[in-house]
A and B are shown apart, each in its own frame.
Chain A
Amino acid sequence: MKLSLLPVATLLAAALAAPSALAQKKYDPGASDKEIKIGNINPYSGPASAYGTIGKVIGAYFKKINDEGGINGRKINFISVDDGYSPPKTVEMARKLVEQDEVLVLFQPLGTPPNSAIHKYMNAKKVPQLFVATGATKWNDPMNFPWTMGWQPNYQTEGMIYAQHILKTRPNAKIGILYQNDDYGKDYVKGFKDGLGAKASMIVKEVSYEVADPTVDSQIVQLQSAGADTLFNVTTPKFAAQAIRKAYDIGWNPLHYLNQVSASVGSVLTPAGLDKSVGLISTQYFKDPTDKAWANDAAMKEWTAFMKKYYPEGNLTDAFNVYGYMVSQTLVQVLKQAGDNLTRENVMKQAASLKNFELPMFLPGIRINTSATDFAPIEQEQLIRFDGKEWVRFGEILGK
């Protein structure tokens, strides 16, 4: 009898001792001593399925973290679902993750329309909509939407960086702007004008085009005849290629700033003509896996090793796979900082207190900074210039 009572007594003692230990731990739905549930929505099917690889690489990275013992001893339970880039499906999936799976945070939902569809819902439910995968500026609005945060440099930030460079290097420039007439294009132009500030009069002409337009040829001619010697080109890939080619063909040779959306060598510069693209300026913020300059870089080697072990079917030249890797590392940092206080409120608080946080795959000098009033994590980029073969980085890190 004595013997069998011993374990009971031990249990009792443990139970009595437990509250003091538990007192420091705070959990919201989705977090426990054993695991942290992270929800994710990605377009694995449908028109935007090229982005699907981001969800897969995030899953692979969390598997690596779990293999290494998890975060503060807790394993990540990553629940990723498909919305096919269709906003109604996004709403349904967000509700599934929040109400049925009860995730702690919704991490990296992708695309501006899908995120717009759940913006209000997530904030009403007070569940973090963390590090959304879109470049729109509206995710940086902590006053009205304290549960939503972006991650990548937003369009306004990038526009501002080009303006900074122009002010510094060509104070007498005559600027022409070509932009797509929608929220994306206007976002860029707003950042650019904010960057110029009082010197916005440097802009001699602004022309826009519609997505449905067949070409932007006439717009390029208009900008040339307005006497512009500097072109800020805010176009999506097809139109970017047309603009580069047309400017070259009519013998117009402005200093040409091309938004990062269309900075792909394969899908924009090659169709436009590599010889016609020499001298283009754009931006970058992380190490491009196709850039030979990084071949012997320690961070690049680590990423390649990770890819080979955890995501062997992934494409080693696809920048999205670097993107997913970096954004997962950011979340891991936030969760580490949150410690044993895994409430949704604390996760947002920690995400809003990243100070000079550097990722190995960032370009040297780029840092993440957030605060209670600044929900735009990456606000720095470096300029790159096309030399006829590849993009070459130059100058210092610009931005905030």
Chain B
Amino acid sequence: MNQRTLTVVAVLLLLACALPFLVSNYRTFQFTLVLVYAIALLGLNILTGYNGQISLGHGAFYAIGAYTAAILMDRFGVPYWATLPVAGAVCLAVGFLFGLPALRLEGLYLALATFALGVSMPQLLKYHHFEKWTGGVQGIVITKPDPPFGLPLNPDQWLYYFTLAVMVLMFVLAWNLLRGRVGRAMVAIRDHHIAAEAMGINTAMVKSLTFGVSAFYTGVAGALGAIAIQFVAPDSFNIFLSIVFLVGIAIGGLASIPGAIYGALFIQFVPNIADEISKAAPWAVFGIFMIGFVYVMPLGVNGAIRMLLARLGRKAQNNRSTAGVTRPTINSPEEV
């Protein structure tokens, strides 16, 4: 990370911190959901963007995380913050175990297997032998946490800061993971798994672990989402959620960390805009938005921003070179 990127991140973080004091509680709540979705999308992006495995069932891990948090809080009186690592760990284990057999499946077949997981999750949650814990179709109502240490914040603002802190931590962890050896191994498997194996990468292990880590992220997001919404029910986690996640990473930008945030903004706000445009066919309007985004920004929002920055940079350099400063100009798009 160079100096400039660091400054940009710092400024954005400051803006994010100021946000709850600039907007209403309702908007703060919406932005909390954006942060939650950003974590979930980052999880899916690690799997799909960096490792090339398509999952149509990440809504299921989100549900497992949400239910783990809700059950721990509701039945066992565990404080909300302590439920996050447990939710993450449960999802890590489930994701890893699901990843083991799923490894034998490539591309479309893996997508189908995960699709089955996503489709069956609401029914599993309604299963009556689990009802003691899950509350069946009625779901579980949980209490909103109050700000600790007598901080002068309302519960919505506190939850926003709490989620923001978790998100920053999760993003830093992901950044560390992805730029190192493990990250390079993931990308190598995505780009050419035979070559990766020839170079000594244990592809089976890396793929399973990636699945686990990805589920871990999504599970933590699910737990945070449950705390923000204060309610979990099987109907909250239908297959549509998984598909919306996939839409989010495609719109935000595959294999990019900031892309998760753009994608989260999209999946949180665009359906509401679509609903305001047309009550009769909100999802048709949503579809038009989606096609528009993909058409205008084929590399996702993150890709588009990078290209824009690169173009601006080039222009600035061109201007300087015409002013007499001799500098090599970059023309090939591969370099940006």
A residues apposed to B, CB below 8 Å: 44-47, 80-82, 84-88, 91-92, 95-96, 99-100, 112-114, 116-117, 119-121, 181-184, 210-212
Known pairs A86-B236, A96-B26, A99-B25; A117 contacts B139 (CB<8 A) = yes
Check A45–B30 contact: CB distance below 8 A: no
Q: Does B128 contact A (CB under 8 A)?
A: yes
Check A85–B279 contact: CB distance below 8 A: no
What is the total number of residues of chain B having a CB less than 8 Å from a CB of chain A? 32
Chain B, residue nearest A124 (CB): B144
Contacts of B236 in A (CB 8 A): 86-88, 113, 117
Q: 16 A-B residue contacts at CB 8 Å? A: A44-B282, A45-B283, A81-B275, A82-B275, A85-B235, A92-B29, A92-B33, A95-B25, A99-B24, A112-B137, A113-B138, A113-B235, A117-B141, A117-B229, A117-B230, A181-B128
Check A88–B283 contact: CB distance below 8 A: no
Check B279–A44 contact: CB distance below 8 A: yes
Q: Does B289 contact A (CB under 8 A)?
A: no
The 4 A-B residue pairs with the shortest CB-CB distance, nearest first, are A99-B26, A117-B231, A113-B233, A113-B235
Check B233–A91 contact: CB distance below 8 A: no
Q: How far, in whole Å, are A184 and B236 apart by their CA atoms in the complex?
A: 19
Chain B, residue nearest A80 (CB): B279
Check A86–B235 contact: CB distance below 8 A: yes
Q: Does B123 contact A (CB under 8 A)?
A: yes
Q: How far, in whole Å, are A87 and B230 apart by their CA atoms in the complex?
A: 10
Contacts of A184 in B (CB 8 A): 137
Residues of B107-154 whose CB lies within 8 A of A: 123, 126-128, 136-139, 141
Check A116–B231 contact: CB distance below 8 A: yes
Q: Which of B29, B33, B126, B139 contacts A116 (CB 8 A)?
A: B139
Check B128–A210 contact: CB distance below 8 A: yes
Q: How far, in whole Å, are A210 and B234 apart by their CA atoms in the complex?
A: 15
Q: Which of A80, A86, A112 contacts B138 (CB 8 A)?
A: A112
Q: Which of A47, A80, A116 contacts B233 (CB 8 A)?
A: A116
Check A92–B30 contact: CB distance below 8 A: yes
Give B199 Cβ to nearest chain A Cβ, in Å.
44
Q: Which of A86, A116, A120 contacts B238 (CB 8 A)?
A: A86
Chain A, residue nearest B268 (CB): A92
Q: How far, in whole Å, are A290 and B127 apart by their CA atoms in the complex?
A: 38
Contacts of A87 in B (CB 8 A): 139, 229, 231-233, 235-236
Contacts of A92 in B (CB 8 A): 29-30, 33
Q: Does B95 contact A (CB under 8 A)?
A: no
Contacts of A85 in B (CB 8 A): 235
Give B194 Cβ to nearest chain A Cβ, in Å.
43
Give B123 Cβ to nearest chain A Cβ, in Å.
6
Q: How far, in whole Å, are A112 and B233 apart by their CA atoms in the complex?
A: 11
Give B128 Cβ to nearest chain A Cβ, in Å.
6
Q: How far, in whole Å, are A87 and B27 apart by their CA atoms in the complex?
A: 18
Q: By DSSP majority rule, is chain A's interface helix, strand, loop, or mixed?
A: helix
Contacts of B141 in A (CB 8 A): 116-117, 119-120
Contacts of B229 in A (CB 8 A): 87-88, 91, 117
Q: How far, in whole Å, are A81 and B232 apart by their CA atoms in the complex?
A: 21
Q: How far, in whole Å, are A141 and B27 apart by their CA atoms in the complex?
A: 31
Q: How far, in whole Å, are A113 and B138 apart by their CA atoms in the complex?
A: 6
Q: Does B225 contact A (CB under 8 A)?
A: yes
Chain A, residue nearest B234 (CB): A113
Give A169 Cβ to nearest chain B Cβ, in Å.
34
Chain A, residue nearest B286 (CB): A45
Contact with A along B24-47 (1 / 0, CB 8 A): 111101100100000000000000
Give A147 Cβ to nearest chain B Cβ, in Å.
15
Check A113–B137 contact: CB distance below 8 A: yes
Contacts of A46 in B (CB 8 A): 240
Contacts of A121 in B (CB 8 A): 230
Check B235–A120 contact: CB distance below 8 A: no
Contacts of A119 in B (CB 8 A): 141
Contacts of A88 in B (CB 8 A): 225, 229, 231, 236
Contacts of A117 in B (CB 8 A): 139, 141, 229-231, 233, 236
Q: How far, in whole Å, are A100 and B276 apart by their CA atoms in the complex?
A: 15
Chain A, residue nearest B27 (CB): A100
Chain B, residue nearest A83 (CB): B275
Check B128–A82 contact: CB distance below 8 A: no
Chain A, residue nearest B66 (CB): A88
Q: How far, in whole Å, are A50 and B27 apart by their CA atoms in the complex?
A: 30
Q: Which of A44, A86, A95, A183 contacts B136 (CB 8 A)?
A: A183
Known pairs A113-B138, A183-B136, A212-B123; A91 contacts B230 (CB<8 A) = yes
Chain A, residue nearest B281 (CB): A45
Check B231–A95 contact: CB distance below 8 A: no
Contacts of A120 in B (CB 8 A): 141, 230
Q: How far, in whole Å, are A80 and B279 apart by their CA atoms in the complex?
A: 9
Q: How far, in whole Å, are A292 and B263 apart by their CA atoms in the complex?
A: 54
Check A211–B26 contact: CB distance below 8 A: no
Chain A, residue nearest B126 (CB): A211
Contact with A along B2-42 (1 / 0, CB 8 A): 00000000000000000000001111011001000000000
Known pairs A86-B235, A87-B236, A181-B128; A116 contacts B138 (CB<8 A) = yes
Check A182–B128 contact: CB distance below 8 A: yes
Contacts of B127 in A (CB 8 A): 210, 212
Q: How far, in whole Å, are A81 and B279 apart by their CA atoms in the complex?
A: 8
Give B320 Cβ to nearest chain A Cβ, in Å.
48
Q: How far, in whole Å, are A91 and B232 apart by their CA atoms in the complex?
A: 11
Give B3 Cβ to nearest chain A Cβ, in Å.
39
Contacts of B136 in A (CB 8 A): 182-183
Chain A, residue nearest B142 (CB): A120
Chain B, residue nearest A91 (CB): B229
Q: How far, in whole Å, are A117 and B228 apart by their CA atoms in the complex?
A: 12
Give A201 Cβ to nearest chain B Cβ, in Å.
27
Contacts of A80 in B (CB 8 A): 279
Contacts of A45 in B (CB 8 A): 282-283
Q: How far, in whole Å, are A153 and B2 apart by their CA atoms in the complex?
A: 66
Q: How far, in whole Å, are A210 and B136 apart by their CA atoms in the complex?
A: 12
Q: Which of B139, B279, B280 contacts A113 (CB 8 A)?
A: B139
Contacts of B230 in A (CB 8 A): 91, 117, 120-121
Residues of B215-247 whose CB lies within 8 A of A: 225, 229-236, 238, 240
Contacts of B126 in A (CB 8 A): 182, 211
Contacts of A95 in B (CB 8 A): 25-26, 29
Q: How far, in whole Å, are A85 and B231 apart by their CA atoms in the complex?
A: 14
Give B224 Cβ to nearest chain A Cβ, in Å.
12
Give A209 Cβ to nearest chain B Cβ, in Å.
10
Assuming A86-B240, A117-B141, what are 7 further A-B pairs, CB within 8 angstroms? A46-B240, A87-B229, A87-B235, A117-B139, A117-B230, A120-B141, A183-B138
